[in-house]
Structure 1
Amino acid sequence: MTENIFVPGLTDLQRGELGTIEIPEGFTLHGLLDYESLVSAESFDFDTLLERADKELDSFEGSVDAIIAHWDFPTSVLVPVLAAARGLPSPSLESVIRSEHKLWSRILQREVVPECVPAFDAFDPFDPEALDKIDIPFPFWVKPIKAHSSQLGFEVSNAEEFASATARIREEIGRIASPFDQALTHVDIPVEARAAGARTCLAEQIVTGTQAAPEGSIFQGEFGVHGVFDMRKDESGHSFDHLDYPARTVPPEVQQQMIDVTERYLRHTGYDNGCFNSEFMWDAETGKLWLIEVNTRISQSHSDLFAKVDGASNHAVAIDVALGRRPRMPQRKGEFAVAAQCMVPRYDDGIVTRVPSESEIAALQARFPGTVVRIDVQPGSRLSDLPNQDAYRYKLATLYLGASGHDELEQRYRDCLEALPFEFEEAA
């Protein structure tokens, strides 16, 4: 019997990645809602999205056998609600929100893995005396308890920069905070995590080192990891430049320490029957390990890299768990020894006047087989108006590259940057 698997915000790229997966009885993919509604919309209404998704699923004439999430909020919180209503395997909503809510997550981390938790304070960005209530010396990070990627995350070094950052946060925090407040009504939030509701922000100690990310799953209490990634930052140290697979910058024993800390934390939250990816910073000089965050889903950024190196997308694990099966994932059965997701960045605002043509992209793919190029802007786009951008750079395109070794991978990235021309005019 063919399984019907629903993927919120399904894109053509993800549909291709899912084509690397084999299920003995076969499966049919179905999109649920759309990318624009769940990822790139200017605003979200959680209750409306939940109602729309329920109607789509209820109107489906066949069986709904699995629902998987690989996008951030609101998708990450919609899926456990939709799955629970249909008796499908899924983490509980509360265990998901415990990690989605970054203040609640930090409180729980401090309870079970305190040695890995940076100093943090919660504050209300609308409070004119907020800075006086933060007991962390400059410099430190400020960020909302819920945001897309590194959006609205700022390093501040003095009171003036704190004021500038919180002014920007006040202007834009409602895009995610308002629907997240709607989602929070579905669970009981402990008093110490309530603060200013979804408009709460965190001030956090700055930590440095080498960043890496394990990804895995918990199935009926059985914890497993199917890959570890290097997360490399650009020269400024603020924004991700590369995701490399498999990880090589962190020793195996430190990778195992990351995995062990992740397991202790997730078991403490009650998380089960779901996937995760966690992010850590390791200081090689001191041996100190810092937990940055834990996300309750596979990472869609990792999917093509798993397919290139292991021969199947990480959706294989997500689908198995969502179908109530022990996850299976091939190892090193892919076409390439190493793979990377790389950004094509720009650090100044501007209006896009030209993007690489289809023929230029095709020539690059013929030169480097297996390369995927996703253009994230179009002519006429003003970079500062793009959704889901971090605070320090704009993303023009995303590249997915494979190679026989890391040196070759680095060279391919440099060659791709030269072969993909973008042009801009100055923004007024």
Structure 2
Amino acid sequence: MPKHFFVLGLDPLRQAYVECVRNAEEYRFHPLLDFEEVVLADTYPYDELLHKAERQLREFPEPIAGILGHWDFPTSVLLAHLGEKFGLRSATLRAVLKCEHKYWSRLEQQAALPGWTPVFCAINPFAESPREQLTIDYPLWLKPIKAHSSFLGFRIENDGEFLRALEAIRGEIRRYGDAFNQALAHTDVPAKVGEVDGNWCIAEEIISGKQCGIEGSMLDGKYRVHGIVDTVKDSRNWSFTRYEYPSVWPRQAQQKICDAGEKLLRHIGFDNSPFGIEFFWDDQKNALKVLEINTRISQSHSDQFIKVHGVSNHQVPLDLALGRMPDLSECHGKYRCAAKFMLRRYSDTRVEKLPGEAEIRAAESSIPDSKVILTIDQGQRLSEKLNQDSYSFEIANILLGAQSQSELLESYHRLADRLHFEFSDGASPEEFQFNRVRY
């Protein structure tokens, strides 16, 4: 009999990723909640989504082997919450909330890895005098306690920028903050976190250097890293331009972040779940810092795992749900490296014309196994897009595999040059964002 898995927010593109696992014919994958309501919605009524998912699962007539997830909040928290309710193998809700709450997570990081944790403080954006709450110096990052994709995240250089950022944050922070507060109400928040909830912010010292993330597993106390992905920003260090796999960091730096990840997750009590932890490495000072903890695999990395390993990273939560420690070492794909590139614009404008279907297919056919995914609509103003960072607008994703990093980068530029966009300001995607620097 096939084993049944539910996938939160499953859509056609990610359906292909989910099905690219070993012995896929042995499993059946069912959507749990709609993609539009857990990814593209204007608001995320957490308790309502939780109850709707519960009803769907209880009405299913067959045994459920597990629930898979690859999106950020709210699905990342729903994943653990539903796992607890249905007795499925997963991290506890409390452990996940420790990681997802940026301030609570920093407190845990500070306790486990004090030398790896940036200086930080909590900020109530609705306070009468929010500037008085700052205990760190400029420049700094200001971001909500709960958001993702750099939404409402600002680099702050002075008091004027701080106040302007808070004005923008106050207008939109409740989109995620209210839903996250509903999730927090299902656990006991410790006194050290205090009144800092989803509608607060965290201010952090600027950490710089190369960015990299580990993806791995915890299974009954056993820890394993199955992949290390480089996160590369543009030449101004503003926005992400690609996720590149495998990492090109030196072996000693990779080993340090793997060891740090284990220490941190054991301290938090995170178990029986996949994870992703982001780090910064200042190679000039040989200093490493924790950026954030994710409590899931990333769908942004799935195509790279398929190209390099021959299976998606969905193999990981599937194996964990069945009580097996994932091992991708014996999986072999067609390419030695792969990347997801994010093509961007850095100023707001209206989309007048997009590459047509024939143009996209022709561009893809020029490079084997490439894929172009448009992330904007014709006639749309870029600022109308949901879940954008504060400095740029993602207009397309380009997925590529190669036998070397140099081939990977050259293929990207060659394919991107074949895509023709027209915007109301007459400009093209800014050249500086391509970032030809090889690490």
Contact kept? 2:311, 2:331, Cα under 8 Å: no
Contact kept? 2:364, 2:415, Cα under 8 Å: no
Contact kept? 2:139, 2:157, Cα under 8 Å: yes
- Matched ranges for 1:330-345 at <5 A: 330-331=329-330, 333-345=332-344
Contact kept? 1:225, 1:259, Cα under 8 Å: yes
What residue is the counterpart of 1:347 in the other structure?
A: 346
What residue is the counterpart of 2:36 in the other structure?
A: 36
Contact kept? 2:67, 2:83, Cα under 8 Å: yes
Cα offsets for 1:335-385 (capped at 9, x unmatched): 111100101100011111211111111111211111121111111211111
What residue is the counterpart of 2:21 in the other structure?
A: 21
User: 1: CA distance between counterparts of 2:310 and 2:193?
Assistant: 42
**Could you say what secondary structure the match of 2:64 adopts?**
coil
What residue is the counterpart of 1:404 in the other structure?
A: 403
Deviation of residue 423 (structure 1)? 1.2
Matched, 1:301 2:300: yes
User: 2: CA distance between counterparts of 1:293 and 1:7?
Assistant: 24
What residue is the counterpart of 1:131 in the other structure?
A: 131
User: 1: CA distance between counterparts of 2:298 and 2:196?
Assistant: 29
User: 2: CA distance between counterparts of 1:230 and 1:368?
Assistant: 22
What residue is the counterpart of 2:437 in the other structure?
A: none
TM-aligned CA distance change 1:2 to 1:328, over 3 Å: farther
What residue is the counterpart of 1:388 in the other structure?
A: 387
Deviation of residue 426 (structure 1)? 4.4
Matched, 1:195 2:188: no
- Matched ranges for 1:36-75 at <5 A: 36-75=36-75
What residue is the counterpart of 1:3 in the other structure?
A: 3
More displaced 10-residue stretch of structure 1: 7-16 or 103-112? 7-16
Cα offsets for 1:48-98 (capped at 9, x unmatched): 101111111122222211101110010011111111111110110000000
More displaced 10-residue stretch of structure 1: 192-201 or 98-107? 192-201
What residue is the counterpart of 2:356 in the other structure?
A: 357
Matched, 1:166 2:166: yes
Contact kept? 2:340, 2:397, Cα under 8 Å: yes
TM-aligned CA distance change 1:24 to 1:144, over 3 Å: closer
Deviation of residue 332 (structure 1)? 5.9
Q: Which runs of 5+ in 1 are unaligned?
A: none
Contact kept? 2:402, 2:408, Cα under 8 Å: yes
More displaced 10-residue stretch of structure 1: 275-284 or 11-20? 11-20
**Could you say what secondary structure the match of 1:214 adopts?**
strand
One-letter identity of the residue aligned with 1:251: P
One-letter identity of the residue aligned with 2:198: A
What residue is the counterpart of 1:111 in the other structure?
A: 111
One-letter identity of the residue aligned with 1:252: R
One-letter identity of the residue aligned with 1:22: R
Contact kept? 1:262, 1:294, Cα under 8 Å: no
Cα offsets for 1:174-193 (capped at 9, x unmatched): 00001000000001111221
Deviation of residue 25 (structure 1)? 7.0
Q: Give % identity.
A: 41
User: 2: CA distance between counterparts of 1:18 and 1:197?
Assistant: 34
Contact kept? 1:280, 1:293, Cα under 8 Å: yes
More displaced 10-residue stretch of structure 1: 332-341 or 309-318? 332-341
Matched, 1:252 2:251: yes
What residue is the counterpart of 1:291 in the other structure?
A: 290
Q: Which runs of 5+ in 2 are unaligned?
A: 427-439
Q: CA RMSD in A?
A: 1.3
One-letter identity of the residue aligned with 1:40: L
Contact kept? 1:316, 1:328, Cα under 8 Å: no
Cα offsets for 1:2-34 (capped at 9, x unmatched): 110111011212111223212387001111111
**Could you say what secondary structure the match of 1:192 adopts?**
coil
User: 1: CA distance between counterparts of 2:327 and 2:308?
Assistant: 15
Contact kept? 2:221, 2:271, Cα under 8 Å: yes
Deviation of residue 128 (structure 1)? 3.0
User: 2: CA distance between counterparts of 1:215 and 1:200?
Assistant: 28
Cα offsets for 1:177-224 (capped at 9, x unmatched): 010000000011112213342111111000111111111010111100
User: 2: CA distance between counterparts of 1:286 and 1:186?
Assistant: 42
> Normalising to structure 2: TM-score of the pair?
0.95
One-letter identity of the residue aligned with 2:87: G
What residue is the counterpart of 1:205 in the other structure?
A: 205
